[in-house]
Amino acid sequence: MPDTSKRLAGRLALVTGASRGIGAAVARRFAEEGAELILVARTVGGLEETDDAVRAAGSRATLVPLDLADFPAIDRLGQAIYERHGRLDILVGNAAQLGLLQPIQQIRPEEWQQVIDLNLTANWRLIRSMHPLLMESPAGRAIFVSSGAALEPRAYWGTYAVSKAALDMVAGIYAAETRRGTIRVNILDPGRVRTRMRARAYPGEDPMKHPAPQDITDAFVDLASAECRRHGERIDLTVPRPA
């Protein structure tokens, strides 16, 4: 029997980019809150490390080594989840790629496509595949991880910024289309977090000035809980919420 004292007890969550950084931290925290996990990432070793943490928290995970740019594989994953569980309670679209920071006119077409495929199109394909499963949950929740780079033009951040701005729009449209149902869709901008991606983007800064991934997981639990009523919001963790 699920431990009903935990906020995500008995809930099934799919987390992408779960091998490290924010995705791994969210998976560990969800496990501590009683969720069963489906963990998706390309790196098998990283997934296994996250799985160890999930098991230590007393939960269990299904590991899915998957390149999310393999779009038909996302559809197969949705079918497999349906056959095994019949539903999905929580979708966390976290996986992302920074790409090269360079003048937009110098971006190679293949580089552009790789970033757009992972950061944008894969999330749309996840929505397409997982929506019927979220509909089967009494309290389906979808959380998409964005960035401040989506909010205004920023020199040299071309593909990443474009992909995140477009993801915000996709998630916003999905929220508008589900506003009358039981699914809640939100966008989460974690701000400056001590991740490998952040270190690549800002190699000269002191990473210890920023919170670690595990320090921001409260917001994910709030949005993933069955009690959450927030919907269609873009939540920026650097902006305090009014009391």
Q: Would you name the residues annotated as active-site residues?
A: 160
Distance CA(34)–CA(48), nearest Å, equals 19
Type and span of the H or E element at 108: none
The length of the chain is: 243
Distance CA(54)–CA(40), nearest Å, equals 14
Distance CA(218)–CA(33), nearest Å, equals 11
Distance CA(100)–CA(106), nearest Å, equals 10
Distance CA(28)–CA(80), nearest Å, equals 23
